[in-house]
Structure 1
Amino acid sequence: MTQTATILRTGRKFDQVLRGARQVFMADGFEGASVDDIARAAGVSKATLYSYFPDKRLLFMEVAQTECCLMAERVISMIDETKPAREVLQITATQLTAFLVSDFAQQVFRICVAERDRFPELGRAFYEAGPQNGQRQMAEYLEKAVAKGELAIDDVHIAAEQFSELCKVRIWTRAAFGIQNTFTQEEIDQVAAQAVDMFLARYGV
């Protein structure tokens, strides 16, 4: 049975369930998150919770996908494609870098890796909603920038992946291994600026 076939995304308590689940997953991880705790945090009964999500995996995937979509919508709302490519790339890099080292992104990444063998669908869902979706949207923008003569790129899909990897330099690894848990805006801005500089050094016209 598919995820879309089993989730009822209507009703006034749906958002409550997502907020409660997000809170518990972030605090306790996937394995440690109990249905009782999620229902309590959401302020709903277990029966109501199960009416929306009969499986905890579906609930986790919905939380991850929702957060990734909100992040993507936020970035898109900030972008004016009539602006120069550097400005567009700088906004995107800053938002992406901040998201990659956020508590949410790091916790979801750890959960997906920890549960990879037992529940590979968790990682697949996060990958599709996060990295894959972001790279697809980036590739679409790069195609437009190439058409306007601002960038010179043969393979926009590879370039989109390269851009996201540049936004991970230094701080993502530190976050993933618990070397550093918080990052200043100055650190994020520096990584983002260097990512854009490197990207344009290769693809700028």
Structure 2
Amino acid sequence: MITLRKITLDNRRAIFNLEVAEEQQKYAASNLSSVASCYVLATNGGFPFPFAIYADEQPVGFVMVTYGITGYDLPEIADNNYCILRLMIDKEHQKQGYGREALKKTIEFIRTFPAGPARLCWIPYSPDNLAAKKLYESLGFNENGEVCHGELCNCTRTLSLISRELINRTTTEAFRVPCCLILWHSKANRPPPFVCLLNEEEIWIILNGSEVRSEKT
């Protein structure tokens, strides 16, 4: 079972020692460098979220999420959105599906909106990293045409499907509707409603001062 865990005094060295294969090193910074970047971001107005990736009780990888600023040149989609800036699986634990499951867990975490609301999640990756491209596209990410930091392309995925936890703590009106295509038109200076697919037959709508209408698909 794949889980995301905090990096602690007890596990930090194990995480720092994880490495990708030699031919993949041009795509990934070291985990030590990434954790150091988290400190710099946190002390300069950023919102970094570094996690150790565990398979049962074995540390197998590292993932780093940021909100807004990343410390690099930013594409237009970075503003008030989440970025999966780092994702790696150790060379000894690859080709076991851990990367895919870790990415799913990361998306679940992002959908709790730990640093603030967002519409998109984006991932930078090198154009020639075809394995990463295939993985991201299989989970709903699509290229948006932007190039970041000279050679990094961006994939985006909508975050309009949000968690039950956010519904539970919201102060706005919430109600259920049958599964359908939700169309909305925001009023001036007001954000669109949040939408959460709870199952195949039911959608939660949380109104936040916007006009909402629904149509059957």
Give the TM-score band, short-chain normalised: 0.3 to 0.5
Normalised by the size of structure 1, how large is the TM-score? 0.32
Normalised by the size of structure 2, how large is the TM-score? 0.31
Q: Which structure has greater helix proportion?
A: 1
Q: Which structure has greater strand proportion?
A: 2
